[in-house]
Structure 1
């Protein structure tokens, strides 16, 4: 029987992707109630993002049901497009309906000031009064200021709020979505009964914004389910942990904070190993005795019973968690090329009257290692898209292609992956000239095999999409890599694999990242600072910009 304080509860919950079972949770094992701040953890591909989508009501479970009550704020890993003509400010204010009310108030104000019909003016005055009363009841002018403060804290200053969403970078749009959700949940005090479902909320945030978000979530009185690879965030915020065990396709619920959970899980796994070893030892003894009895016809039945008992002993013991498989992530052996395979001159990008950057020059020599820095929204992603040929420069500038150029582009929003195609179809499309068996071996090294090759790419987690995009790079023989946040969404082991790939790659790299570890692994020679486009030799003094950007 459901407890009324529960805001999300599952019943005989089962999650599958294709024929692969990711998770089973019997009865009402998974519950969220006000005050629960739950960390949803597990390796990449364990089913965290898929489970979160189901909890949010974006899709249905394979088996069982999910019951929800109250307001839910869901932040997916991939930015929602929505109305890209809408301003960032209106998008955030829409969380409480303030944007619509403000537009209607402006309309009635215009009628009052322009109409010569007294009757129409009186109607507009009455409508305006009703709208203003509603506006005040929803927080009104204070809410507008509060929304602006949340946005500023998340790295969205006032100049950005009045821009259409279509002019913002992917990272900025995602921060707008986060701001909208937190504004809806704050109710003017930072505390509410809204249930927050946040999938990697610290992506694209700088250090100060992450610190503020920790404090906000730690004080949140509604329910919270959080997916994050930010260990400090999990430790500071969570009072419960759901561990998705990919080996057993089960979830373990720990009613404790993150640090205590790590200790308890280690103890649980040690206990399982002991129990499993004892069961296997007893089973081996029974089988040995059965073998002796089986030689005598009069004791064949007893031997059969012993064998059955041995199988039950082993079958009833919990599976021992094996060491997680690790993706063997590497970058391609670069194809031969000339001294300067890629050169950009006078690159300029504008959106309407808004200039993102202008006159950026960049020569990418063979084996160059370049980091692109700048505040959020300075155009770092846009610059990589121009270099990759995904967008065209505005004005007279352009790209000069050198001898033997082969570009490998990794997009932070994974828009090089077709979500409607399978893992295998995406790989074939990215590497049309490769031998099929070579591609299967390559995907296996990146932990894609068997039925997962036929999984729609749109159902992959952020970490799995990152691995799939990186796998396509390996077969490309690219000699210039354009990497936009290549460590986002990765668990610590996979992230270290990418860092090692950066250290050993012998081609040219142009890197955009918030990850100081990625910059250290690259050991850059030069830096481009946007939006001015200034170029400088790398100095460790620039590391502070990386950490704060």
Structure 2
């Protein structure tokens, strides 16, 4: 259980949440919703004891499993299977059992005897932790999340960002924690894994807070909804499922509007009467009291909720370039003995639109990093045509300097812009006031997405390399980027699980990995997008 009492959250000097109290008990499956930047990620970090509230207190009983938007897996030399088993300390026990079993065959009787005693102790601990049944459970969870046996036998350093995130999700689901805090858990999952996760969380008996823009997930899983209102700095708590919440929230809005209109009408009548009474000195005190009653009346009702602001995203006209600004010939990449893709050829013509498809781990992100010049290929070359200006959106936001401020990141991307113009662009992406002085590393996933998109806008790129650009975005912001993508006049190479993003792009070609097969886009390929 988690109990929050009168907590206050701030981002710098900006108030995110004031005097909020609630509890998360066993059986509570809470959908935490609100626009990007409202403070959802900040709240989950506080509930997970990763940071402290500005005021108030949070207490928890039992283990809390926390999946942040950008999980850090620690030692990348650890095998994927061991990372998952570590949730119940089974990784250490299994390794010790293997070492003890080997030492039991030593010629020295004393060594063999000590190894036998240690093996017996560790075997008892292994059984107490669930034994082979627990190992099977971990393997089943991993498989359901798209992590087959061959992936589990690899070190984390050889896995893609999406695969490492799925390892972290598997570890948390395997942990047996009494309360789960999951921030966008469907990111990087294919369609089958998302369906499995919905069923798994819908039957979860512990406490759960989930941040997600997957409406199907929210409909299937949640039985309570917390709406974090960024304009009022409060949490509206609805003890109902998702569909009922939407209906009740609309009803609440109509009620608030009626109450406000009635209060305004009554207050106007009181103030008009007070103005008449002020003309007579003998009634001045009565007039003042009447004006105060009007003020109290207006303060006693909630105003209509303000509409959440949405970043205004429009790509400028791309810089002029030659007929084929970007080419790749014979690209291949391996991690150790594991071949990711081989012999990939690609020619990006001016204004062309290419979707890269392939199962998780097929090398889509790796290919974009090579095309962007961040990683070298093992073989092959990337050639820049006349006038190429690349814009790269990284799904892990590696293009941002996390130690520098929002403003400094923008200045580095577009040094030719003056201070006023830079702040104006940031303002259109909802960064204003003290927000521009925050280090990029403390931003939420949605805010990092907005900042990365702002950097693209000022780049005047004529070729965009986009890796999952709609992840972490609320519905309104997602629609904004899809509209901008549709209207962009330059070339685009897109990696995405989002069928809506592919529809907005209207691709003319598709590149299939790991085979490197290129084909004209057709409706038959649309079914592969969610599997990518």
TM-score, normalised by the number of residues in structure 1: 0.95
**Residue 121 (structure 2) pairs with residue 123 (structure 1):** no
How many Å separate the matches in 1 of 2:333 and 2:136? Answer: 31
Superposition map of 1:54-203 within 5 A: 54-113=46-105, 115-185=106-176, 194-203=178-187
Q: CA deviation at 1:384?
A: 0.4
Q: Judge conservation of contact 2:73–2:168 (CA < 8 Å) in 1.
A: no
Q: CA deviation at 1:501?
A: 0.9
Question: Could you tell me which residue of structure 2 aligns to residue 52 of structure 1?
Answer: 44
What per-residue deviation string (whole Å, max 9, x for no partner) do you get for residues 493-518 of structure 1? 11111111111100000000000111
Question: Could you tell me which residue of structure 2 aligns to residue 190 of structure 1?
Answer: none
What per-residue deviation string (whole Å, max 9, x for no partner) do you get for residues 93-143 of structure 1? 111111111111111122223x32111111111111211221122122222
Q: CA deviation at 1:451?
A: 2.2
Question: Could you tell me which residue of structure 1 aligns to residue 440 of structure 2?
Answer: 457
How many Å separate the matches in 1 of 2:414 and 2:157? Answer: 31
Q: CA deviation at 1:331?
A: 2.0
**Residue 396 (structure 2) pairs with residue 413 (structure 1):** yes
Q: For 2:530, what is the secondary structure of its paired residue? A: helix
Q: How many residues align?
A: 532
**Residue 329 (structure 2) pairs with residue 336 (structure 1):** no
How many Å separate the matches in 2 of 1:77 and 1:459? Answer: 12
1:510 aligned residue (474, 479, 493):
493
Q: CA deviation at 1:293?
A: 2.3
Question: Could you tell me which residue of structure 2 aligns to residue 38 of structure 1?
Answer: 30
Q: CA deviation at 1:337?
A: 0.5
Question: Could you tell me which residue of structure 2 aligns to residue 378 of structure 1?
Answer: 362
Question: Could you tell me which residue of structure 2 aligns to residue 18 of structure 1?
Answer: 12
Q: Judge conservation of contact 1:50–1:459 (CA < 8 Å) in 2.
A: no
**Residue 420 (structure 2) pairs with residue 426 (structure 1):** no
1:273 aligned residue (244, 257, 264):
257
Question: Could you tell me which residue of structure 1 aligns to residue 302 of structure 2?
Answer: 318
Q: CA deviation at 1:241?
A: 0.9
**Residue 476 (structure 2) pairs with residue 500 (structure 1):** no
Superposition map of 1:358-369 within 5 A: 358-369=342-353
How many Å separate the matches in 2 of 1:79 and 1:71? Answer: 18
Question: Could you tell me which residue of structure 2 aligns to residue 189 of structure 1?
Answer: none
What per-residue deviation string (whole Å, max 9, x for no partner) do you get for residues 403-458 of structure 1? 11110000111121222222212211222222222222211211111222222322
Q: Point out where structure 2 has 5 or more consecutive residues left out of the alignment.
A: none
Superposition map of 1:208-357 within 5 A: 208-357=192-341
What per-residue deviation string (whole Å, max 9, x for no partner) do you get for residues 299-353 of structure 1? 3333322222222222222132022222211223200011111111122212222
How many Å separate the matches in 2 of 1:45 and 1:271? Answer: 27
Q: Judge conservation of contact 1:79–1:170 (CA < 8 Å) in 2.
A: no
Question: Could you tell me which residue of structure 2 aligns to residue 188 of structure 1?
Answer: none
Question: Could you tell me which residue of structure 2 aligns to residue 4 of structure 1?
Answer: none
Q: Judge conservation of contact 1:248–1:319 (CA < 8 Å) in 2.
A: no
How many Å separate the matches in 2 of 1:548 and 1:352? Answer: 26
What per-residue deviation string (whole Å, max 9, x for no partner) do you get for residues 14-62 of structure 1? 1111111111234xx3101111111111111111111011001100001
How many Å separate the matches in 2 of 1:58 and 1:182? Answer: 19
Deviates most, 356-365 or 455-464: 455-464
**Residue 531 (structure 2) pairs with residue 548 (structure 1):** yes
Q: Judge conservation of contact 1:25–1:251 (CA < 8 Å) in 2.
A: no
Q: CA deviation at 1:546?
A: 0.7
How many Å separate the matches in 2 of 1:282 and 1:233? Answer: 45
How many Å separate the matches in 1 of 2:521 and 2:102? Answer: 55
What per-residue deviation string (whole Å, max 9, x for no partner) do you get for residues 356-375 of structure 1? 11221111111110010100
TM-score, normalised by the number of residues in structure 2: 0.98
Q: Judge conservation of contact 1:326–1:447 (CA < 8 Å) in 2.
A: yes
How many Å separate the matches in 2 of 1:418 and 1:283? Answer: 53
Q: CA deviation at 1:468?
A: 1.1
Deviates most, 46-55 or 284-293: 284-293
How many Å separate the matches in 1 of 2:363 and 2:71? Answer: 18
Q: CA deviation at 1:162?
A: 0.7
Q: CA deviation at 1:74?
A: 0.5
Q: Point out where structure 1 has 5 or more consecutive residues left out of the alignment.
A: 1-6, 186-192
Q: For 1:548, what is the secondary structure of its paired residue? A: coil
Deviates most, 78-87 or 347-356: 347-356
Q: CA deviation at 1:152?
A: 1.0
How many Å separate the matches in 2 of 1:477 and 1:265? Answer: 41
